[in-house]
Structure 1
Amino acid sequence: THTHTHREHIRSRGQPMGEQLGLRCLAQGSHLSRGIEGGESAGYSLPPPTIPAEPETRTHDLQAGILPSLEDLLFYSIAEGQERIPAHKFITALKATGLRTGDPRLKECMDMLKVTLKSTSDGVMLDRHLFKKCVQSNIVLLTQAFRKKFVIPDFQPFASHIDTLYEKARNLSGGLVADYIPQLAKFSPDLWAVSLCTVDGQRHTVGDTKVPFCLQSCVKPLKYAIAVHDHGTEYVHRFIGKEPSGLRFNKLFLDEDDKPHNPMVNAGAIVCTSLIKVSIFLLFLFYFRMMAGNEYVGFSNATFQSERESGDRNFAIGYYLKEKKCFPDGTDMTAVLDLYFQLCSIEVTCESASVMAATLANGGFCPITGERVLSPESVRDTLSLMHSCGMYDFSGQFAFHVGLPAKSGVAGGILLVVPNVMGIMCWSPPLDKLGNSVRGIQFCTDLVSLFNFHNYDNLRHFAKKHDPRREGGEQRVSRFLFCFCNIFIIRRFALSSMDMEQRDYDSRTALHVAAAEGHIEVVRFLLEACKVNPGPKDRWGNTPIDEATHFGHHEVLALLQEYNNKYNPPVNTDADKESTEKNLDGMLET
């Protein structure tokens, strides 16, 4: 076969067949640069390199070289040569990017999809027209997702790593469940959950992520952020310091200015609570639900009652603060403590809390609604204090080893923020002697050991760490040489704005390979739609024309010569004319 002969020809030159080869669409005036990623880059595996049937209309579109809209590009990238796609295939591809069908930003698309499926005769298949009707309201977000323009481009491999870290931490058995109030002691020590949300709204959860639990001290950075958002940094820090205390979180102790050391210890959190109208508990619920993208935020009245009944230490701190005049004038200390206990009793799930953390990671904008909840100033100050003071007496160690803003609570939660990337909530009730979740600490430590999320990581010196923010393009393009016979796969590569003229280390291009194999449609697409150079030379000085001549592909040779004349018009000499005629005569005789 031609393929076998070509491979032998390659081996005789010493060139490996599996070289990485990228693509970029250079079509002038076309819309190809707006296309959609294909293959695994779109979140699912490339099909085997077989040629699907091409209806005449498809061939016409292909030869035209330009697709009319983003919706069409998205359809063709998922359809893989078919005229209709199953609805579940679109949903599967969507989920592989990290987006959920319940994402508020995709509501119009999902609603239209449901209506469309109910109204069609077969109920599960979408042609191009129906598909366009469903996705057009949310096409910008969908295009970003399928072109891998999110902060974690290759989301599925990243999620698999998270699952591995989760399983590793699940095997830990140390720590004790907090029992100072009955409601905390009721939780099983086997509960363990991790949920994350990126700044682009990509979601992943593993474990007991739908079990409600109280925020406890994890609420402290959230209410501090609200206080700064409402009143500004300068006003808030008239009453609260910014330094780690070096003491237990519930100590009756103030700094040299008779202020609580920071808002992450109980004294500072109580004062912080007093800075917001204590009569409006619903104000906090409003903020928390906005941070969580309107996902679950509840209230445990039983926990609140127990907190108040067993809160002697916090009452003592409150009276001490009152004595030292730490509250704003006119503050009702008892009402402040009631609100403080109520806020500790706010319930979330791992999933909703991860969106809260992602809102902090996203500069105060909720990733799944796009609404601004907090000011950039309040988020910056909150993350700074979480980094230095958020993990009780383990804060210094955590900042050293993990290097990320975090806040823990005695219910077993750890609210972790990777600035500009994602928010994570880990939850497991067993605590170490410092009051932090045993499994949560292990997970956070392993996370930054695997990924370069530590604030001071530098990949130049930590080469073994992964950066999930970088697209694994080399994995995608390495498959190209094995798929060049499938025009629809080639088109998807082109639609993703990759370099169609990129070379391997033997300086061979996609056009070299397609010409050698005799794939006329691929050659035509590269020349007509992508405007590639028809005459690049490889390391041996061979051009695609030489490849087509060597393997006797008549149509390919004629097409290449036609475009070579257009791309680089030759000087009409008798010698050139004679050489061309000899080439054609030689091919006609074979």
Structure 2
Amino acid sequence: MEYKQAFSNTCDFLSKINDPGKVASYIPELGSVDPNKFGVHLTTINGESFSHGDFDEKFSIQSIAKVLSLVLAYELEGEKLWKRVGVEPSGTAFNSLVQLEHDKGIPRNPLINSGALVVCDILVDHLKNSKQTFIEYIRKVADNDSINYNEKVAQSEKEHGYRNAALINLMKAYGNIDGNCDEVLDFYFHLCAIEMTCAELSRTFMFLVNDGIDPFTKEKIISTEKSKRINTLMQLCGFYDEAGEFSFKVGIPGKSGVGGGIIAVLPEHFSVAVWSPPLNEKGNSYKGMRFLEMFNQATDSSVF
């Protein structure tokens, strides 16, 4: 498939349009980001890459990191993981307390906040020096030793993370959190504060393009079966209560973050990262969603 022209045309078009989205302001460190930033990077399984705009500027990947924490927890915990978190689309806001109470403390899926907190609880239990061990794991997957947490973002998350505190305490009351709530929350806030560029993010997710194996280093990150399940969860649950529309319009697995980033993968073909901070009303990057819809239509890229 020839991607160059479609990539260039889509980026050029979106660079010129007005963005009606709004930068996430409930986390002050995110609210201070320049709303005019727009970067894209696509990496193909054959090693080609295409870049646009602010593709080499680091940003907070936020909930995109939930995919990576899930991959590690799935490796450590195996199928027992699914006794504590479901695999269904939420259909409600990513931080819904009402749904969590209705489901008696079992999150609908691991990519909403409550589900990611359960995953973090598992990792804190398994990993010695959990934050350091986890960032070293991310560096291995990314093949990049420069990946790190943004401590200012983590602190900002902590100072305004009241709803996440409510979620974890509710699950603790239902017996679905084993560890210390404050320790798990601290790990979660750091998880969301990981910084990458579009180029780094696209590169990091190449193992999900290639059945769980990094196509460049040949290192096995996760089994083929588990890789397919992770991609399925991204397809079904990667965009909160806009997941159905994303599947309908874009048709490939992906995950968004309120920092304005989106990662999407077409198995056996490419990984693409988009960053544009203003979010639509569902909490997903407005231009990021538009890019993926337009690019995939132009290239007929879909898992369906």
Aligned partner of 1:181 in structure 2 is 27
- 3-state SS, counterpart of residue 86 of structure 2: coil
Amino acid at match of 1:229: E
Q: Tell me the distance in 2 between the aligned counterparts of 1:165 and 1:295.
A: 32
Q: Tell me the distance in 1 between the aligned counterparts of 2:43 and 2:162.
A: 37
Counterparts in 2 of 1:487-506, with a 5 A limit?
Answer: none
Residues 296/378 of structure 1: CA separation in 2 closer, same or farther (3 Å cut) = farther
Unaligned runs of 5+ in 1: 1-151, 457-590
Aligned partner of 1:535 in structure 2 is none
1:314 equivalenced with 2:164 (yes/no): yes
Q: Residue 296 of structure 1: CA displacement?
A: 4.1
Q: Tell me the distance in 1 between the aligned counterparts of 2:269 and 2:75.
A: 22
Q: Residue 421 of structure 1: CA displacement?
A: 0.9
Residues 393/172 of structure 1: CA separation in 2 closer, same or farther (3 Å cut) = farther
- 3-state SS, counterpart of residue 205 of structure 1: strand
Aligned partner of 1:261 in structure 2 is 108
Spell out, residue by residue over 1:120-156, the C-alpha distance to the aligned partner (whole angstroms, 9 max, x if none).
xxxxxxxxxxxxxxxxxxxxxxxxxxxxxxxx5xxxx
1:239 equivalenced with 2:87 (yes/no): no
Q: Tell me the distance in 1 between the aligned counterparts of 2:111 and 2:216.
A: 27
Q: Residue 451 of structure 1: CA displacement?
A: 1.4
**Which of 265, 268, 273 is the aligned partner of 1:417?**
265
| 8 A Cα contact 1:229 1:377, kept in partner | no
**Which of 447, 451, 455 is the aligned partner of 2:303?**
455
Counterparts in 2 of 1:31-430, with a 5 A limit?
Answer: 158-173=3-18, 174-232=20-78, 234-252=79-97, 253-254=99-100, 256=103, 258-277=105-124, 279-294=129-144, 296-328=146-178, 331-430=179-278
- 3-state SS, counterpart of residue 282 of structure 2: coil
Larger Rg: 1
Spell out, residue by residue over 1:142-178, the C-alpha distance to the aligned partner (whole angstroms, 9 max, x if none).
xxxxxxxxxx5xxxx5223211111112223221111
Q: Residue 446 of structure 1: CA displacement?
A: 0.6
Give the length in aligned residue pairs: 298
TM-score (norm 1): 0.49
Amino acid at match of 2:5: S
- 3-state SS, counterpart of residue 87 of structure 2: coil
Amino acid at match of 1:325: G
Q: Which moved more, 1:428-437 or 1:293-302?
A: 293-302
| 8 A Cα contact 2:105 2:170, kept in partner | no
- 3-state SS, counterpart of residue 273 of structure 2: strand
Amino acid at match of 1:268: G
Q: Tell me the distance in 2 between the aligned counterparts of 1:296 and 1:446.
A: 32
Amino acid at match of 2:256: S
Q: Residue 295 of structure 1: CA displacement?
A: 6.1
- 3-state SS, counterpart of residue 123 of structure 2: coil
CA-based RMSD of the aligned residues comes to 1.5
- 3-state SS, counterpart of residue 426 of structure 1: strand
Q: Residue 204 of structure 1: CA displacement?
A: 1.8
TM-score (norm 2): 0.94
Amino acid at match of 1:318: I
Q: Tell me the distance in 2 between the aligned counterparts of 1:295 and 1:167.
A: 32
Amino acid at match of 2:90: S
| 8 A Cα contact 1:287 1:373, kept in partner | no
Unaligned runs of 5+ in 2: none
| 8 A Cα contact 2:168 2:177, kept in partner | no
Q: Tell me the distance in 2 between the aligned counterparts of 1:213 and 1:204.
A: 19
Spell out, residue by residue over 1:535-563, the C-alpha distance to the aligned partner (whole angstroms, 9 max, x if none).
xxxxxxxxxxxxxxxxxxxxxxxxxxxxx
**Which structure has more RCO (C-alpha within 8 Å, separation ≥ 6)?**
2
Counterparts in 2 of 1:567-582, with a 5 A limit?
Answer: none
